[in-house]
Structure 1
Amino acid sequence: MSVIEIPDGSPFGVGNLPYGIFSVAGARPRVGTRLGDTVIDLSVVLGDTGEDAAFAASSLNAFMAQGPARWAEVREQVTALVGGDVPADALHPVRDVQLHLPVEIADYVDFYASEHHASNLGRLFRPDAEPLLPNWKHLPVAYHGRAGTVVVSGTDVVRPCGQRKAPDEQSPSYGPSRRLDIEAELGFVVGVGSALGDRIGVDEFAEHVFGAVLVNDWSARDIQAWEYVPLGPNLGKSFATSISPWVVPLAALQAARVPLPGQDPQPLEYLRGRRDWGLDIEFVVEWNGEEVSRPPYKDMYWSPAQMLAHMTVNGASARTGDLFASGTISGPGKHQRGAFIELTWGGREPVTVKGEERTFLLDGDRVTLSATAPGPDGTRIGFGEVTGTIRPAR
């Protein structure tokens, strides 16, 4: 038996206890949680028979499908266990494990919930018109992404190819994207789905959503610009979406809840709730190891509860493993922009990275997103990182 040591100031304290899928040499992937710099094998400490067989699985889906009462029960059990001695064979230094995609992704929907981001892109793309389109403040705008290309942090991203047409070109050409970008986002994982024809209300959010992950929605802006009218993004987004390996449960985010910044006009009734699900989460964007931005999630206009309510209001079913993301997180300041197209103002205002002026991503570039939020008793909880390196087009 062993006592787990937690380094001072660790963002993975007892108030966090995120879930992930890990493996060690010679063993199959299974469910773990992280405390400090230690990964705890839940299949060992909670058993792997009967109802608990979910912890010997290679994804979180079986556990998530058991629902919020079970989530609360397990969190209470794990919190009690880590306060004392833990079986030594359940403990692994985080440096010695391999982390895997935590969820078998069912569907993926990406929203456009930051007013600052949407306004900035409106000014870039439609300089002579209103920045926001008429529907933007009435509903959470979104597009349906590709679940099969959601990958775990550390997976390389191959530069996508496709059609692109610059404004000064007479006709489109085919080739590698020349304006490859990132989008710093927060994603939410559905644990309990809904039946076809049913709706999930704003105040039912916590009954269905298991937790949150960091998301980098890689974006080929030149491919996207040529294809997106009239049906929206497709190949410019579908080649890769990276997520962090740790899923932070909603229970760990209670201290991070804040009011939304204000919605005017008042949303329609199905988008109103008794309590907001704004979240005070601070992101850091690093480009080749250098910090270039700190996007604040607390400034998001639409909440994740409103996103889920809108996603199902037409009777579309939700499923265990569905991932929906916030869209780019941006604040009012230049240093708070969560996409390089904003940060460099369409490439016209380069930023300096490692002594070089940069606009969009080059082959070999490495981007890392991280985030923390207020935790219980003045602590901070962490989401870990989501990292990707750009490889040449094939």
Structure 2
Amino acid sequence: MTDPNDPALRSFVPVDPASDFPMQNLPYGVFSARGLAPRIGVAIGDYVLDLWGLEQDGRLDVEPGTFAASSLNAFMTQGPKVWARIRARISELLRHDNDELRDNDELQKLALLPMAQVELHLPIAVAGYTDFYSSKEHATNVGVMFRGKDNALQPNWLHMPIGYNGRASTVVVSGTKVRRPRGQLKPANTEHPSFGSCQRLDFELEMGAVIGQTSPMGEMLSEAQAQEMIFGFVLLNDWSARDIQQWEYVPLGPFQGKAFATSISPWVVTSAALEPFRCRGPEQVPQPLAYLRQAQANNYDLELEVGLRAGSMSKSARICRTNFKYMYWSSVQQLMHHASSGCAMNVGDLLGSGTISGPEKSQRGSLLEISWNGTEPVQLADGVVRTFLEDGDSLAMRGWCQSEGYRVGFGEVEGTILPAD
């Protein structure tokens, strides 16, 4: 069977060369249309291929009802061999030289829907959410702001992926509006805290690794096991209330400042589709302890950008462009470390990479860094200025891997800020 990543593959479905969703991608998502219940599909160009329709027609060999589900969890549970077989089969059905679906008008009408006519939903039932802090550039920038250049990185940072357990209950799909959070605030010039709406609302540009297999409580993971457990990735915006977080984070770290919303893209791009874009990350000095060492290239050459549109602006202005390849600790290392204590991992767990910043000023992945904690206001179009996000602002992130003649992309994750109640 032809490799689904073959650059020469073409679909009978028209796909623009600039599309995020060519034959070589085939990301999974959950959609609804025609008044029917949510089910699973894949993106191809400007269309969604209804996998439940194909399953009912006997074209896909999976456990019965797999693609009638409202999340990818049951499909992911079936394991990497099934993932590979189904992806190859979908690719085969969409090939321009295969008449099985191409010449079946009745099946096409059932299974191929214009993306503009469907509603996209949260693609996974999030079992647990962990957010990491794995960009050396981001951690250094934040450390310089608050502790000075000589103490920018905490002593443990170069020895393990730092993370905290976040709230799975407030992970939402792209397009969900985000209400400005409320919490305890204590500016430096006040003696006592007060309760009110966040005044320093921020975004964090991240990728999310979607865990598709379980690991038992009490057991560690090898590099190969961790690689096999990652089903795919989503774009992730971990919205952050900087002023709430600043007052609460000592001694246990982020809590309410991060708990109010985390947005992810509706399409899960599989690890298999990203395979051609693997690359090695930065050199790790000192060498990690044995359980965290990597023999393989576990980073990805994945371009990322952020656009901000104020309510008064006619179009979005790009405020950041960076790359996932800069991450110091890879998603595989994050997963190995997460399980190293004996922590059980579940299907549907979501691991946030942490803010992705690069070495250049234009590559900073949060407004905290871009505005340098509010001291360097960002000039947008039409005279609009921002240090942090204001009500009515819309924030959109995009990501893609570029190859010759095609790109493997994620679409976008977008959210608009509503006023606090």
User: Residue in 1 aligned with 2:31?
Assistant: 22
What is the match of residue 234 of structure 2? 213
Instruction: Choose the corresponding residue for 1:282, options 303, 311, 315.
Output: 303
Q: Offset at 1:7?
A: 1.8
Partner of 2:50: 41
The 5 A counterparts of 1:67-216 are 67-83=79-95, 84-85=98-99, 86=101, 87-88=107-108, 89-127=110-148, 129-216=150-237
Match of 2:76 in 1: 64
Match of 1:55 among 50, 67, 83: 67
Long gaps (5+) in structure 2? 1-10, 102-106, 310-315
Alpha-carbon distance between aligned partners in 2 of 1:124 and 1:18, rounded to the nearest angstrom: 39
Rounded Cα–Cα distance in structure 2 between residues aligned with 1:366 and 1:34: 24
Shift of 1:52: 4.2
CA drift of 1:47 comes to 3.1
Distance (whole Å) between structure 2 residues aligned to residue 180 and residue 11 of structure 1: 30
Partner SS state of residue 337, structure 2:
helix
SS of equivalent residue, structure 1 residue 46: helix
Deviation at 1:10, TM superposition (A): 1.8
Q: 1:196 to 1:226 in 2, by over 3 A?
A: same
- With normalisation by structure 2, the TM-score equals 0.91
Is the 2:49–2:112 Cα contact (8 Å) retained in structure 1? yes
**Once the two structures are superposed, what CA deviation does each residue of 1:61-107 show, in whole Å capped at 9, x if it has no partner?**
00001000000000010000011343221011010000000000000
**Residue type matched to 1:24 in 2?**
A
Following the alignment from structure 2 to structure 1, what is the Cα–Cα distance between the partners of residues 196 and 33? 40
SS at match of 2:266: coil
Give the alignment's TM-score, normalised by structure 1: 0.97
Asked if 1:255 is matched to 2:276, the reply is: yes
User: Are residues 218 and 48 of structure 1, via their aligned partners in 2, closer, same or farther at CA, if it must alter by over 3 Å?
Assistant: farther
Partner of residue 311, structure 1: 338
Residue 224 of structure 1 aligns to a residue whose secondary structure is: helix
Shift of 1:19: 0.1
The offset of 1:48, in angstroms, is 7.8
- Please state how far the C-alpha of 1:276 moved relative to its aligned partner: 2.2
SS of alignment partner, residue 214 of structure 1: strand
Distance in 1 (alpha carbons) for counterparts of 2:379 and 2:144: 23
Q: Which amino acid aligns with 1:333?
A: E
Structure 1 residue runs of 5 or longer lacking an equivalent are none
How far apart are the structure 2 equivalents of 1:81 and 1:105?
A: 30
The alpha-carbon deviation at position 365 of structure 1 amounts to 0.4
Deviation string 1:316-339 (CA, Å, 9 cap, x unpaired) is 000000000100000111110010
1:260 to partner: Cα distance: 1.1
Deviations 1:359-392 (A, max 9, x none): 00100000000001134x5521101100000001
Q: Give the corresponding residue for 1:31.
A: 40
Measured in 2, the distance between the counterparts of 1:383 and 1:3 equals: 21
Measured in 2, the distance between the counterparts of 1:119 and 1:29 equals 43
1:334 is aligned to 361
Of residues 344, 361, 365, the one that matches 2:371 is: 344
Name the CA distance, whole Å, in 1 between partners of 2:31 and 2:392.
27
**Equivalent-residue separation in structure 1 for 2:285 and 2:79 (angstroms):** 34
The 3 A distance-change label for structure 1 pair 116 and 128 is: closer
Is the aligned partner of 1:324 residue 2:324?
no
Whichever residue aligns with residue 354 of structure 2, its letter is G
Q: Tell me how far apart the structure 2 counterparts of residues 16 and 321 of structure 1 sit (CA, whole Å).
A: 21
Contact 2:308 2:394 in 1 (8 A): yes
1:277-297 CA distance string (max 9 Å, x none): 011111110000111110211
Within-5 A mapping of 1:285-296: 285-288=306-309, 289-296=316-323
Q: Offset of 1:200 from its aligned partner?
A: 1.8
Q: Are the aligned partners of 1:48 and 1:55 in contact in 2 as well (CA < 8 Å)?
A: no
The whole-number CA distance in structure 1 between the counterparts of 2:222 and 2:245 is 32
The 2-side partners of 1:100 and 1:371 are apart by 19
Work out the number of aligned pairs and report it: 392
Which residue does the alignment assign to 2:398? 370
Q: What amino acid maps onto 2:226 in structure 1?
A: F
SS in 2 for 1:81: helix
- What per-residue deviation string (whole Å, max 9, x for no partner) do you get for residues 190-234 of structure 1? 000111111222222232110000000000000000000100000
Q: Distance in 1 between matches of 2:220 and 2:405?
A: 36
Alpha-carbon distance in structure 1 between the residues aligned to 2:76 and 2:262: 22
Q: Do the aligned partners of residues 128 and 13 (structure 1) sit closer, same or farther apart at CA in structure 2, a change above 3 Å counting?
A: closer
Tell me how large the CA RMSD over aligned residues is.
Answer: 1.4
SS at match of 1:295: strand
Q: Quote the residue 2:16 is aligned against.
A: 7
